[in-house]
Amino acid sequence: MKMLITGGAGFIGGNFIHYMIENHPKDYIICLDKLTYAGNLETLEPVMNKENFKFIKGDIADRSFIYKLFEEEKPDVVVNFAAESHVDRSISDPGVFLQTNIIGTGVLLDACRIYGIERFHQVSTDEVYGDLPLDRPDLMFTEETPIHASSPYSASKASADLLVLAYHRTYGLPVTVSRCSNNYGPYQFPEKLIPLMIANALNDKPLPVYGKGENVRDWLYVIDHCRAIDMIIRKGKAGEIYNIGGHNEKTNLEVVKTILRELGKSEDLIKFVADRPGHDKRYAIDPSKIRKELGWEPTTLFDEGIKLTIRWYLDNRKWWENIISGEYQDYYKKMYGNR
Ligand code: NAD
């Protein structure tokens, strides 16, 4: 199988590429990534020289480039991770979110329609469902929950999901969509909650927590997410949406305190800051469908996953210190020229 993985120099796409190379060595993987501030070729360093792997720099929203790529490479499967992914950035600058997340997905779908594909998989988020109240722990998002996005980020992801499903209905394109809860694990860009808190705690810098830290997220270890996507591509039914989540609900404050405890740092480092506008209160995924239909179960409990994650950031200081200092931008040119 020849697989085109977009956004593979980012957090989840990078972990997915490592997972695929390890678990499906007979498949051929092409990673397409624009290398925005969030893309980092150092994440792909361990697979760069593998015979069944190729990296191509490019933009999913560049129609002529994408058509040429499909014509030359003829992928069997496309997994679309490429996105602008940070809610705070979508609030300050929504335009690029519409361009990449909506237009880019549309261009990929057109290429699949024109050149043919066995499966197009869209990696989406539980944020398309909006949020749940804090005082109703019985409520969870199912695949039937109406779309009710809160931020420009989640609205752009919801728009992309609708396009993907419309291409199935209108053109019979064999698509699947997965909507996953918050991921954590190795290679996550240190602007997101868990790596930011680990990096700041290690540097004895204040840990900024929005509002009172009461917002609840449903945390999933990234490798459990990768395994779920792999199962959906191979066994999932075209035209279907699959929710992915680990029943690991935690308040942001609980997560931050766990990190401080694990690192032996004082809670005095916590600094409460003004809340994010429109901040979603609670996300909680009901993953019954993927469990019943595909037999997927999360295998990493939060207590174990957070230890693995902290260990990874301790062992790979260079990876995130380069990002923080901006050196990783020079790294690409030094290592790979203008490719
Ligand atoms: P990320 O920001 O770490 O990585 C995104 C990658 O996409 C980067 O490598 C970036 O260079 C690339 N990219 C951006 N614009 C591009 C373009 N126009 N063309 C080609 N490449 C481009 O994001 P992530 O956290 O790994 O998320 C991956 C996907 O999973 C996203 O679609 C996101 O919406 C979804 N998702 C993320 C989470 C989470 O907790 N991080 C949860 C559920 C779903």
Chain mean pLDDT for the chain: 95
Ligand 1 pocket residue status of 222, Cβ below 6 Å: no
User: What type of residue sits at position 81?
Assistant: F
| pLDDT of the residue at 339 | 46
Model confidence band, residue 109 (pLDDT cutoffs 50, 70, 90): very high
| pLDDT of the residue at 323 | 87
Distance 9 CA to ligand 1 centre (A): 9
Round to whole Å and give the CA distance between 17 and 54. 11
Q: Is the pLDDT of residue 334 over 90?
A: no
243-262 per-position pLDDT tens digit? 999 899 999 999 999 999 99
CATH T-level assignment (fold) for domain 2-189+219-249+282-302: Rossmann fold (3.40.50)
Instruction: Return the structure tokens found at 53.
Output: 């792997």
| pLDDT of the residue at 327 | 58
Helices 105-115 and 152-171: angle between axes, nearest 10 degrees: 20
- Give yes or no: 126 in active site: yes
Q: What mean pLDDT is predicted for residues 163-192?
A: 97
- Give yes or no: 221 in active site: no
DSSP code of 175?
A: E
Q: What is the ipTM of this complex?
A: 0.99
Distance 10 CA to ligand 1 centre (A): 6
**Contact between residue 13 and residue 81 where contact means Cβ atoms under 8 Å apart:** yes
Q: Is the pLDDT of residue 333 over 90?
A: no
Q: Which of 33, 59, 84, 126 is catalytic?
A: 126
Domain boundaries, the chain: 2-189+219-249+282-302
73-91 per-position pLDDT tens digit? 999 999 999 999 999 999 9
Residues in the chain: 339
Q: Using DSSP bridges, classify how beta strands 28-33 and 249-251 pair: parallel, antiparallel or unpaired.
A: unpaired
What distance lies between CA 292 and its chain's CA centroid? 24
Q: What mean pLDDT is predicted for residues 299-313?
A: 97
Q: What mean pLDDT is predicted for residues 153-173?
A: 98
User: What type of residue sits at position 115?
Assistant: Y
**Contact between residue 17 and residue 53 where contact means Cβ atoms under 8 Å apart:** yes
Q: Is the pLDDT of residue 329 over 60?
A: no
| 281 contact partners, CB below 8 Å, separation of at least 6 | 131, 132, 133, 134, 214, 215, 216
